[in-house]
Amino acid sequence: MNIALVTGASSGFGQAICRKLIADGYKVIGAARRSDKLQKLADQLGDNFLPLTFDVTKKDAVETILLQLPKEFQPIDILINNAGLALGLEPAYEANYNDWETMIQTNIIGLIHLTHQILPSMVERNYGYIINLGSVAGTYAYKGGNVYGASKAFVKQFSANLRTDLLGKRIRVTNIEPGLCGGTEFSNIRFHGNDEQAATVYKDVDYVTPEDIANTVSWLVNTPNHFNVNSIEIMPVAQASAGLSVCKQ
Ligand code: 8X3
């Protein structure tokens, strides 16, 4: 049975991915900072789910915890780097510097920690799959996307570069690049807990759901081993990469 590690497992995409992979028959390690939420999920998902409380930005702590994984949850075959966040939508000249650092710490540093730690064992076994959660923000610039978009551009290029380093090995890498997705805490976090502002993002829009993303992950991991989806861009029908705007003087 394949074993998957999903970061950011306590809510949103991460939680939906854990549920779907468990339903598909995988063993799943769900990692997140919020142990209470993880425990609730564990109570629902049964023995094939292992809740692990850690913060992806804390390298040494993550390393220690992963070295002590119970035998039945080793080795990790599938790494799903889902933990990530957006903070703020202000223009760069009004943005909060701490928000920028936090996004870089989680979206980039956290993702490379986990990958650096788990990839060697995949290479040793010549088997594995890394799925990164990027974003359309890593491809298309938008107002206020500044560091968030740049962090996702890192994830996009890192995914592509992993593929080049892994050429000749049976290890797959996919960057999933979602657009507007609702039913998560994404916008509530982006707007620092302003739920009213967050709600306006999704008002009257038929958005992509966490279950849509989980179904995509399920499809990816069930494709044959010779088959690699390098990247997959997903938007709701209600969204498109709109044209470049011009400001008339
Ligand atoms: C989430 C999509 O459009 O809010 O990464 O950047 S977007």
| Mean of per-residue pLDDT scores for the chain | 96
CATH code of 94's domain: 3.40.50.720
Q: pLDDT, tens digit, for every residue of 14-34?
A: 999 999 999 999 999 999 999
Determine the pLDDT at residue 244. Answer: 81
53 located within any domain: yes
Q: pLDDT, tens digit, for every residue of 114-139?
A: 999 999 999 999 999 999 999 999 99
74 located within any domain: yes
180 located within any domain: yes
239 located within any domain: no
Nearest-5° Cα angle at 107, 243 to 36: 120
Number of folded domains in the chain? 1
The residue whose CB lies within 8 Å of the most ligand 1 atoms, and thus the one to mutate among 106, 132, 180, 231, is: 180
Mean pLDDT of 135-158: 97
- The reply to whether 93 belongs to the active site is no
Kindly tell me the number of DSSP H helices and DSSP E strands found in the chain. 9, 7
Under the banding of pLDDT at 50, 70 and 90, the label for residue 1 is low
247 located within any domain: no
Note down the domain range covering 144: 3-234
60, with CB counted inside 10 A (0-12, 13-18, 19+), is: exposed
For residue 231, what are its two tokens? Answer: 């990247």
Which protein residues are within 6 Å of ligand 1, measured from CB? 135-137, 178-180
Nearest CA to ligand 1 atom 6: 137
Distance (Å) from CA 232 to ligand 1 centroid: 14
For residue 176, what are its two tokens? Answer: 């999933």
248 located within any domain: no
Under the banding of pLDDT at 50, 70 and 90, the label for residue 249 is confident
Nearest CA to ligand 1 atom 2: 179
Distance (Å) from CA 197 to ligand 1 centroid: 15
The distance of Cα 199 from the centroid of its chain, to the nearest Å, equals 22
Please count the CA atoms within 13 angstroms of the CA of 41 that sit on its side-chain side.
30
| Listed residue (113, 107, 109) closest to 145, CA to CA | 107
Q: Which residues contact 235 (CB under 8 A, 6 or more apart)?
A: 136, 178, 179, 180, 208, 241
Give the ligand 1 atom nearest the CA of 201. Answer: 4
110-125 burial, b for 16+ CB within 10 Å, e for fewer?
A: bbebbbebbbeebeee
Distance (Å) from CA 248 to ligand 1 centroid: 27
Check 93, 127, 142, 148 and give the catalytic one: 148
Determine the pLDDT at residue 216. Answer: 98
Q: What ipTM did this prediction achieve?
A: 0.89
Q: Is the pLDDT of residue 245 over 90?
A: no
240 located within any domain: no
Q: pLDDT, tens digit, for every residue of 62-86?
A: 999 999 999 999 999 999 999 999 9
Mean pLDDT of 165-178: 98
Distance (Å) from CA 75 to ligand 1 centroid: 32
203 located within any domain: yes
